[in-house]
Structure 1
Amino acid sequence: MHQATSCTSLDEVRQNIDRIDEALVALIAERGRYVKRAAAFKKTSDDVRAPQRVEQVIAKVRALATAQQANPDIAEQVYRAMIAGFVEAELAEHAALRAN
């Protein structure tokens, strides 16, 4: 694991941020593939929206952020935005599956 405190220049900090961004985007893409697959198992659009599940995920993410010494408010904001985007994509996938 890299330590931000060991960076000796802004360029080194930026290189590490770029490395992290690449890993995060790959993980978001993987998560998206699972979300798309989940649409096949849900019967209604309400099942896709699943507000109780969203709140379970948010609670889990806040706990994970705290355990990793990350800001739980930032983690929650990121996840709420990501989940909103994924719900829209899953609703479209769900509708397409139901149309076929």
Structure 2
Amino acid sequence: MNKAVTCSSLEEVRSNIDVIDRKIVALIAERGGFVMQAARFKKSTDDVKAPQRVEQVISKVRTLAHELDANPDVVEAVYRAMISAFINAELVEHASLTSNT
């Protein structure tokens, strides 16, 4: 299900990548908004780290990668990095929320 069009130049490839990058960053921002909301519902830092949930997400996105004809190893690496960064941000948010109660 690869939707990449055939490009006739490197500039065209880069232009298409730039369009996709804007969409990816917008989706990461949207995902981040939900991550920050999740901090309100978690009682401890262990709840924020949630290693079992991380593995559920990794399993889910690897399956999606296969379905969408993406490289599952690349998808997993990207998600592990993203989740790690979001956990760090959520830990800060969680600490802020729990120090104010």
TM-score of the aligned structures, taking structure 2 as reference length: 0.94
Deviation at residue 6 of structure 1 after TM alignment: 2.2
2:23: which partner in 1?
A: 23
Structure showing greater relative contact order (alpha-carbon pairs closer than 8 Å, 6 or more residues apart): 2
Q: Distance in 1 between matches of 2:20 and 2:43?
A: 36
| Length-normalised TM-score, structure 1 | 0.95
Query: Where do residues 1-100 of structure 1 align in structure 2 (5 Å cutoff)?
Result: 3-100=3-100
Percent identity of paired positions between Structure 1 and Structure 2: 64
Q: How many pairs were matched up?
A: 99
Stretches of structure 1 that go unaligned for 5 or more consecutive residues are none
Runs of 4+ in 1 over 6 A off after TM superposition: none
Pairwise CA RMSD: 1.2
**CA–CA separation in structure 1 for the residues paired with 2:3 and 2:58:** 27
State the alpha-carbon separation in 1 of the partners of residues 34 and 72 from structure 2.
24
Q: Unmatched 5+ residue regions in structure 2? A: none
CA contact (8 A) 1:4 1:13 kept: no
